[in-house]
């Protein structure tokens, strides 16, 4: 792909703790490998393909993964601080407990990815696709989710102080128990969003029209002049998520997400080897 790489590198098998820091691995293929606790600090992985591999606890600090594909890979407790992940494809990838502080993920494709309890402070998700992502319990103070697709995403109990959701699509998203002081919701679409039991008094950019489309009830605080009108019945539909790995096709199964007064449906699919 680049002149500084003479041939495509393929890596597999088991190599816990492998040292790849600073290497040129542009376009490399990691297939079905075990790379737990591997060191990839500053590694150039542009356009790499990670298929069915495990990088739990690996260190990707300042690594460059622009345009890489890491579909359905596991990065539990990995370190991506200040890494470049613009345009990465990571549908269904698991980043639980990972450190993505200051990571750049603009225009990334990360539907159904798992970020439970991850550290996302200052991370940039501008224009990313995060439909159905699990972001519950994340620490995402100052993160940028502007213009992102976040339909049916879960921010339950997340720390989102001063995060930006400007013009984000948040249909059916859940924010119950989230900390949102200083967060920016200018132009965000909140149809069927679950904002119950959430303190919105310090949120910027909210309008009455936005709140009328959302679900608000229970003990909560709102910015001056705005009122909670409860939950009205809204039906929503999201297309199935399709993930392809060589010889395996995974389709999201039919799911109904029920919020009092709200139904979110993900259409039926199937899964199985091919």
Convert the pLDDT of each residue in 66-121 to its tens digit: 999 999 899 999 999 999 999 999 999 999 999 999 999 999 999 999 999 999 99
**What is the domain range of residue 203?**
85-274
Q: Give residue 219's pLDDT.
A: 62
At 121-143, the pLDDT tens digits run 999 999 999 999 999 999 999 99
Residue 59 lies in a domain: no
Lowest mean pLDDT among 59-63, 108-112, 225-229, 260-264: 260-264
Residue 266 lies in a domain: yes
Residue 21 lies in a domain: no
64, pLDDT greater than 60: yes
pLDDT tier at 259, thresholds 50, 70, 90: very low
243, pLDDT greater than 70: no
Residue 24 lies in a domain: no
Domain harbouring 242, CATH code: 2.160.20.80
Query: Which one is predicted more confidently, 150 or 271?
Result: 150
What is the tally of structural domains in the chain? 1
At 192-241, the pLDDT tens digits run 999 988 999 999 999 999 999 999 876 678 998 888 877 754 444 444 44
Residue 108 lies in a domain: yes
Percent residues over pLDDT 70 in the chain: 81
Whole-model pTM: value is 0.82
Residue 51 lies in a domain: no
Residue 8 lies in a domain: no
For the beta carbon of residue 78, count every other beta carbon within 10 angstroms. Answer: 29
Listed residue (246, 235, 244, 239) closest to 269, CA to CA: 239
Residue 17 lies in a domain: no
Count Cβ neighbours within 10 Å for each residue of 226-252 and write b for 16 or more, e otherwise.
bebeebeebebebeebebebeeeebbb
């Amino acid at each position: 792909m680049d002149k500084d790489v003479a041939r495509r590198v393929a890596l597999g098998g088991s190599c816990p703790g492998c040292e790849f820091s600073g290497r040129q691995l542009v376009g490399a293929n990691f297939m079905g490998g075990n790379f737990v606790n591997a060191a990839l600090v500053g590694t150039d992985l542009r356009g790499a393909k990670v298929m069915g591999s495990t990088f739990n606890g690996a260190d990707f600090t300042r690594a460059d993964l622009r345009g890489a594909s890491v579909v359905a890979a596991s990065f539990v407790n990995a370190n991506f601080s200040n890494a470049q992940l613009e345009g990465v494809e990571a549908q269904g990838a698991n980043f639980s407990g990972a450190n993505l502080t200051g990571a750049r993920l603009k225009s990334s494709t990360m539907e159904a990815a798992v970020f439970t309890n991850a550290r996302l402070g200052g991370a940039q998700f501008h224009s990313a696709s995060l439909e159905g992502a699990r972001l519950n319990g994340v620490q995402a103070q100052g993160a940028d989710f502007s213009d992102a697709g976040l339909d049916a995403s879960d921010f339950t109990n997340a720390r989102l102080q001063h995060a930006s959701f400007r013009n984000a699509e948040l249909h059916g998203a859940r924010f119950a128990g989230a900390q949102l002081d200083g967060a920016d919701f200018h132009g965000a679409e909140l149809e069927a969003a679950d904002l119950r039991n959430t303190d919105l008094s310090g949120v910027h950019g909210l309008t009455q029209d936005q709140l009328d489309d959302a679900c608000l009830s229970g003990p909560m605080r709102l910015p001056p002049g705005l009122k909670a009108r409860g939950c009205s019945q809204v039906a929503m539909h999201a297309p199935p998520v399709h993930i392809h790995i060589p010889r395996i096709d995974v389709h999201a199964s039919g799911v109904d997400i029920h919020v009092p007064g709200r139904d979110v449906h993900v259409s039926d699919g199937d899964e199985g080897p091919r």
